[in-house]
Each structure stands twice: as C-alpha cells, then as structure tokens.
C-alpha cells in the first residue's frame, strides 16, 4: 500500500548509480505535494572483525563531501544480487579478504526523506587473505587500514568515522 498516493510521476534522470524521479502525491489533508526521490538499488556493508579485535576499514575519497572518510567496506547491489553475496564480494574487492562467517546485523535507510536506498550491514569473522582479490583498491584511491576496536570511540569523536553505515555497524556491534 502506498503511504502517500501517487497522482503523477516523472522520471528526471537515469544514471549509472542512481535515478531521480519527482512524484506528485496527495497528503492526508487532501492537499497535493511533490516528492523528489532518488532511486538506488540498495547496498551491503561489512564490519570485518579480526581475531585480535581490529576492524578492517577503508580510507577513500568522497567527491560529494570533498574529503576522505574512513569507512567499513561496502558497495551497491548488482541486479538481482542478494545482500549476503554483495557483502562477500565487496569485502574481497576492497580489502582482499575472505570471511568464514558473515552474520547480518541490521538493515537501515540512510536518508528516507529522499532516498530509496537500504543498506544491510553484516559482521564478518574468520578473515583470511585471498591473493586473488582486491583489484579495485589502487584504481579508486582506496587505502585499507586496520583499526583497533579500542580506537573507534576516539575516531568517532574526532569526526574521522562519520558515515552512517560505519557508525551504525560499529555502535551496534558494541551495543550487542
């Protein structure tokens, strides 16, 4: 059931990563309103936990913010791809690691007012290096960093870890 009935929908743009549409909707009051909606296929993210209590993270350039962020590995779902499969693939591509265990943590919406994207976060354990993986890292300017779990609070307070998926994954891991 549609939460706000659609009166009209107009596709503005269809790109490589996202599409943009504008929906005209009817509010509970009967008044019309427009909703600018960014369509995204969804994503998977991974908190890779080593046996010696480190998180394997990726420092990467983020054009939208014009700065580098320290994030957990993540990536967009390919067409028809399950989040679990995507999680294993992105972990290998970005860090060169395989995981024996991949446990779902939760699924969240980064920005539900404008964005259809939902991200499923997993915790990966039983990590081992796979020499055949990690083809993307150098090309895209990614740098892998092993972060001690004990250093995470200071990195969050300093604003160095500041993206939603990394914050939620790391905070929830600590909570549970």
Catalytic residue selected from 136, 138, 140, 145: 138
Give the position of tokens 């791809």: 81
Minimum distance, C-beta of residue 169 to a second copy, in the bound complex (Å): 10
Distance, CA of 9 to CA of 4 (rounded, Å): 12
Give the CA count within 13 Å in the CB-facing half-sphere of 33: 11
Which token pair is 157?
């307070």
* CA dihedral angle for residue 15, residue 164, residue 145, residue 103, rounded to 10 degrees: -100
Nearer residue to a second copy within complex by CB, 98 or 164: 164
Contact pattern from residue 106 through residue 145 relative to a second copy, giving x for each residue in contact according to CB under 8 A and a dash for the rest: xxxxxxxxxxxxx-------------------xxxx----
Site for a second copy in 1-60 (CB under 8 A): 1-4, 12-13, 15-18, 20, 22-23, 25, 27-29, 31, 34-38, 40
Q: Is 149 in the site for a second copy (CB under 8 A)?
A: no
Q: How are beta strands 119-129 and 43-48 bridged, if at all?
A: parallel
> In sequence order, which residues have a C-beta less than 8 Å from that of residue 17 and are 6 or more positions away?
40, 76
Q: What is the binding site for a second copy (CB under 8 A)? A: 1-4, 12-13, 15-18, 20, 22-23, 25, 27-29, 31, 34-38, 40, 61-69, 71, 106-118, 138-141, 153, 156-157, 159, 162-164, 167-168, 171-172, 174-175
């Amino acid at each position: 059931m549609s939460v706000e009935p659609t009166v009209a929908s107009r596709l503005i743009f269809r790109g490589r990563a996202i599409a943009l549409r504008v929906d005209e909707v009817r509010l509970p009051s009967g008044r019309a309103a427009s909703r600018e909606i960014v369509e995204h296929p969804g994503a998977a993210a991974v908190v890779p936990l080593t046996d010696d209590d480190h998180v394997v993270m990726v420092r990467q350039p983020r054009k939208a913010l014009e700065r580098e962020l320290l994030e957990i590995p993540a990536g967009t779902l390919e067409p028809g791809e399950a989040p679990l499969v995507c999680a294993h693939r992105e972990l290998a591509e970005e860090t060169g690691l395989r995981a024996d265990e991949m446990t779902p943590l939760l699924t969240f919406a980064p920005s539900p007012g404008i964005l259809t994207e939902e991200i499923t976060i997993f915790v990966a354990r039983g990590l081992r290096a796979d020499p055949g993986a990690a083809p993307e890292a150098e090309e895209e300017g990614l740098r892998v960093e092993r972060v001690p779990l004990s250093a995470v609070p200071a990195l969050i307070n300093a604003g160095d870890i500041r993206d939603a998926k990394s914050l939620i994954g790391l905070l929830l891991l600590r909570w549970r």
